[in-house]
Amino acid sequence: MGVSQGALIVLLSVVIRLHAQTDVTQDFEDWPHTILTGWGTYTNDGWVLSDGEVRPNRGGYGAPIDQQCGWLNDFDVSSNTWLLSPLLPYGAGEVSFQVRRNTGTSAENFWEVQHSTDGTNWITDEVFYSMQDAWQPVSAVVDVLEPVYVRI
């Protein structure tokens, strides 16, 4: 997992389509702000945000949905920033989320959508190598029918 040279990855309104015909969503609205504590690992209702922040805005990049969003560390000093779902007992079909690039830098970033049935051994479902300067929806097919964790 990695992000390179000041590129920005912002997560908001993550939706995981389950095979049980329901969705698991994470919009970060009920997470406490981390503005004063900064980058770190935070948990909420079984979700884990590693090397990230939850806040309403960051620089000129406010959250376009509701009031706040999860921010993955976008500096070249981090190679282990991710959002992990709780164990999804019915598996997962598709993961959807929104991202944008930091327009204040020419750096590019990359990230992966992965799944694991044991929380230790990860299988990469899709790798993304670029994004736009504006918010864009992104989705990846996971398609696992057994209990599974998903991380971005």
Retrieve residue 29's tokens.
């609205």
Query: How far lies 129's CA from each of 1, 4, 69, 75, 110, in Å?
Result: 12, 11, 22, 16, 4
pLDDT band (50, 70, 90) for residue 6: very low
What mean pLDDT, rounded, does the chain reach?
78
Retrieve residue 135's tokens.
């918010």
pLDDT higher at 129 or 147: 147
Retrieve residue 52's tokens.
């990230």
Give the rounded distance of the alpha carbon of 2 from its chain centre.
12
pLDDT of residue 52: 87
- Cα atoms in the 13 Å half-sphere on the side-chain side of 127: 8
- Cα atoms in the 13 Å half-sphere on the side-chain side of 133: 5
Q: Which amino acid is at 96?
A: S
pLDDT of residue 3: 38
- Range with top average pLDDT, 56-70, 114-128, 134-148: 114-128
pLDDT band (50, 70, 90) for residue 1: very low
pLDDT of residue 115: 96
With 50 as the cut, is the pLDDT of residue 7 above it? no
d(CA 139, CA 43): 23
pLDDT higher at 5 or 10: 10
Beta-bridge partner residues of 97 = 138
d(CA 150, CA 90): 12
pLDDT tens digit string along 20-60?
556 888 888 888 877 767 888 999 999 999 988 888 776 66
pLDDT tens digit string along 92-120?
988 888 877 666 666 666 788 999 999 99
d(CA 33, CA 41): 13
Retrieve residue 90's tokens.
């019915």
